[in-house]
Structure 1
Amino acid sequence: MAAEQYEVQAVSETFSRDGNPLWHIVSLKPDGTYHDYVFPQDSLEWRAAEYSIDPSDVETLLDVILHEPHKAPLNRDDPALMEGRISRAVIPSAGTRVGDYEATTLFNAETKKDAREAHLVRIQHAKANRVKVVSPAGKPDPLDKIRSKYRNEPKLIEDKRRAVNEGRSVLRKNLEAFQLKNRKEA
């Protein structure tokens, strides 16, 4: 199945109810209707921090953000899972207990490298099979507005990286406690 192409028509700035700056992207779908996508303006910084993507690689960061809404759901059809990218669950969910194997995500991956690789598999699958977001050919690129405003500020990214690492650490401790309990019971 070939991916549909969504051609970016416009990018504008807006704000959430609590005043946080957002990007609003309008894309033209093949059927002539429009797809709206709104996300926080600091999302590129967050993806750099979350997945250890080079913060100066704006194209990769933007590519990830633009295709995230089009990823396959995390279920048996997950392309990362189909490649065998699995990790032990760090929190229980429907049908999964702590310690069970499940698809690798940012929060259950042993390393950020594992998380990044699984996430990029999902993004590439979305682009190849679901939706590929493209800039208009032969016209000014509306995405340049995001590129020009992106702040690759090491301090901001490091603060975000620290927050992600703390969250991942708490979840990993949950898994370690579960595994320790099971060893004692065995």
Structure 2
Amino acid sequence: MPDIWTVWDAELGYSTTSLLQNGGEQAGQLATHYGAEPMWGISRVRPDGGAHLHIIPHSTWEWRCAEYGIDPDDMTTLLDIVLHEPWIPDPDDALASVQPGAAAVLQETHGLPTCWTPGVPDADRLAAHLERIRLVKQHRVQIFEKTNGSTALILQRLDQVDDRHAELAQKVEQDRAAAEARYTAMEARLDAIEREAVTRTQLTERTKQIVAIVGLLVMVAAAVIALIQLTRG
């Protein structure tokens, strides 16, 4: 008999990222354009009553659509697949053969194509994967909603993620544009300060030259006056 897990809620978060495009001032911080991906936390309860959180990147839905030709609007199928995939046994796992449920799934799915099998139509790949999910629910785990409407709530939140992600992306772009504008204004101010500093330096040098010339003229005038006085004497 399969274990019964229950789902009762889903929360949306985002993976970490750095808004510094060219790397940060912190040691070891690398420039990256990854991160800030929507991450779903599906709250589940194990058969023993323990709480469990299944973290699913939002891009998982896109990957499954690309791998098996699933309609992106068919979130019911996508959710059913993604929630049960962790219990699909790995054929290369030696310990899977000693677990009756896993061994049964492996035996009945032997030879079925995967998304990596070349030359297989989307419909055949999808049918094979849905068969794996069916056998997982038959031999290993079945996931049900804890209360009526929980799955509908999850699907509704999944539908809303694109709008929320677009709002976040827009806010990030606005903050980035504002930071670039401040940086440009700072550069302009620094250029003005540098030009002003050069002008003051030149003025100081010219002032020194004028003072030196005036001093020389005073010395010459004093020498002329002394010469005149000697001549009269």
| TM-score normalised by length of structure 1 | 0.61
Across the two proteins, how many residue pairs are aligned to each other?
133
More moved, 7-16 vs 109-118: 109-118
Check 1:139–1:59 CA distance in 2 against 1; reply closer, same or farther (3 A cut): closer
CA contact (8 A) 1:79 1:121 kept: no
2:111 to 51, 75, 85: 85
SS at match of 2:147: coil
1:128 to 138, 143, 156: 138
Check 1:117–1:150 CA distance in 2 against 1; reply closer, same or farther (3 A cut): farther
- Consecutive unaligned residues in structure 2, runs of 5 or more: 17-34, 98-102, 163-233
Q: Could you report, residue by residue, the CA deviation over 1:105-155 in whole angstroms, capped at 9, with x for unpaired residues?
A: 21124213332222212111111111111112345444234443366xxxx
Higher helix residue share:
2
Counterpart amino acid of residue 105 in structure 1: T
SS at match of 2:114: coil
More moved, 26-35 vs 138-147: 138-147
Counterpart amino acid of residue 54 in structure 1: D
Match of 2:51 in 1: 34
CA contact (8 A) 1:135 1:143 kept: no
CA contact (8 A) 1:3 1:131 kept: yes
- Consecutive unaligned residues in structure 1, runs of 5 or more: 87-103, 152-186
Separation in 1, partners of 2:7, 2:161: 18
Report the Cα offset of residue 14 of structure 1.
Answer: 1.6
Percent identity, please. Answer: 29
SS at match of 2:73: coil
Q: Could you report, residue by residue, the CA deviation over 1:72-92 in whole angstroms, capped at 9, with x for unpaired residues?
A: 222474746635535xxxxxx
CA contact (8 A) 1:80 1:119 kept: no
Counterpart amino acid of residue 117 in structure 2: N
Check 1:140–1:115 CA distance in 2 against 1; reply closer, same or farther (3 A cut): closer
Separation in 2, partners of 1:69, 1:128: 14
Match of 1:143 in 2: 154
Separation in 2, partners of 1:105, 1:78: 18
Counterpart amino acid of residue 125 in structure 2: A
Check 1:15–1:70 CA distance in 2 against 1; reply closer, same or farther (3 A cut): same
Check 1:45–1:146 CA distance in 2 against 1; reply closer, same or farther (3 A cut): farther
Match of 2:213 in 1: none
SS at match of 2:49: coil
**Aligned pair 1:107/2:116, yes or no?**
yes
Check 1:78–1:116 CA distance in 2 against 1; reply closer, same or farther (3 A cut): farther
Report the Cα offset of residue 30 of structure 1.
Answer: 1.5
Report the Cα offset of residue 46 of structure 1.
Answer: 2.0
Counterpart amino acid of residue 75 in structure 2: V
Higher strand residue share:
1
